Structure 1
Amino acid sequence: MTLPPRGGAVPEGAGHGTPAAPLGVPLQRLLFGGVYGTVLASALASALDEGEGKPNPGYDALWILVAALAAAAAHGYAHAIAHWTGGGRRATAESVRSVLAEWPLVAAALPTVAALLGAAAGWWGEESAVDVILTVNTAALFGWGLLAARAAGQGWGPACRVGLVDVLLGLFIVSANALTH
């Protein structure tokens, strides 16, 4: 990935001239999806409760994946309809493209799904999986913040500070998890 010149931040929603991430998705959409998907998966995993029933990590993994797919579809569709114009491209085709471009949000939830599937396979308990999920996802948030700042042309010091601010999102979820359990 080629980084834009120092100070070359790209405005929200820009797609033309924006450095492309894998599969041609604009870098901003990759970063948005990464952060949003990581936070969503962390919050959902944190909400898993060992109530009265037996934990079912396979079922939980499925629902986290469904929630990520639904969030991606909703965001992509909302983005598409917000940019509809009278003389623009066909609304249906544009909507489908916009929804499919939200794959980074779903991809960011996959480590959480994988950890829960490992628990379903009996490799570890669901509670241990959630602890690992929250740790890994908090570290991933640092990475997303670092990548975003570097892509915007920031030096390593400021980029690390942005990463640490993103870590606060993860620590908020970890703290909420500790307080509610």
Structure 2
Amino acid sequence: MADTDTRAAAAERHAHDTRESLLFGGVYGAVLACSMVAALTQYGHTDQESRRYDAVWLLVTALASALAHGYAHYIAERTPHRRGDALRVLVNEWPLITAVLPTALVLAGAGWGWWPAKGAEYPAFALNITLLFVLGVGTARWSHRSWPYALLIGVVDALLGVGVVVANAVIK
């Protein structure tokens, strides 16, 4: 009986960790993507080559952020580690990288001529704000919150992205 309880507790902890990882990585990735697009387009470089460059730098920054965050988790545990733990911790950062992929695709698509390179930051911002809203609503519903409360959480999360866009407009 104790073994069954231990396994059930471990499964519940893993489910909670997965939800937390999805929310954290998704929000972090979406805000990172908004910030990077704002920073990279600040100087008005909007040609195709610049957009391809922006897409690459967004991916490099996401990978570096995931590595730094994973490494911080690894060393912060302060417990003896087994072989492979470092790799497991880094692999668990996939939601952060996944969250920036749509923005990288928007920028790369503009760089490849699929759509105009000038103004590509606006659909990228809209995409990330929408992602933040969906993550907020989804996570709140996952936690058995009511629909009105979940929508409120989604709006608050989306306001993070709007804040980045507004800050970029003010800085320019």
| 1:64 equivalenced with 2:58 (yes/no) | yes
Deviations 1:43-88 (A, max 9, x none): 1001123638674111110010010011111111111111131xx3
| 1:173 equivalenced with 2:155 (yes/no) | no
Deviation, 1:89, is: 3.2
Could you tell me which runs of 5 or more consecutive residues in structure 1 were left unpaired when the two chains were aligned: 1-13
Could you tell me which runs of 5 or more consecutive residues in structure 2 were left unpaired when the two chains were aligned: 1-8
- Distance in 2 (CA, whole Å) between partners of 1:109 and 1:52 is 21
- Distance in 1 (CA, whole Å) between partners of 2:120 and 2:95 is 22
Deviation, 1:177, is: 2.1
The structure 2 residue matched to 1:46, chosen from 32, 38, 44, is 38
4+ long deviations beyond 6 Å: none
> Hey, what does 2:99 align to over in structure 1?
108
| 1:30 equivalenced with 2:22 (yes/no) | yes
Amino acid paired to 2:18: P
For the Cα contact (< 8 Å) 1:18–1:27, is it kept in 2? Answer: no
Deviation, 1:40, is: 0.3
- Distance in 2 (CA, whole Å) between partners of 1:82 and 1:122 is 44
- Distance in 2 (CA, whole Å) between partners of 1:140 and 1:155 is 20
> Hey, what does 2:133 align to over in structure 1?
142
> Hey, what does 1:73 align to over in structure 2?
67
Amino acid paired to 1:62: V
For the Cα contact (< 8 Å) 1:77–1:98, is it kept in 2? Answer: yes
- Distance in 1 (CA, whole Å) between partners of 2:119 and 2:134 is 23
* Counterpart mapping for 1:154-165 below 5 A: 154-165=145-156
Task: State TM-score, norm by structure 1.
Answer: 0.81
Deviation, 1:180, is: 2.6
Deviation, 1:126, is: 3.3
Number of equivalences? 162
Deviation, 1:30, is: 1.0
Q: What do you get for the CA RMSD once the two structures are aligned?
A: 2.2
The structure 2 residue matched to 1:99, chosen from 90, 96, 99, is 90
For the Cα contact (< 8 Å) 1:81–1:95, is it kept in 2? Answer: no
Does the C-alpha gap of structure 1 residues 100 and 15 become closer, same or farther in structure 2, counting only changes over 3 Å? Answer: farther
**Structure with the largest fraction of helix:** 2
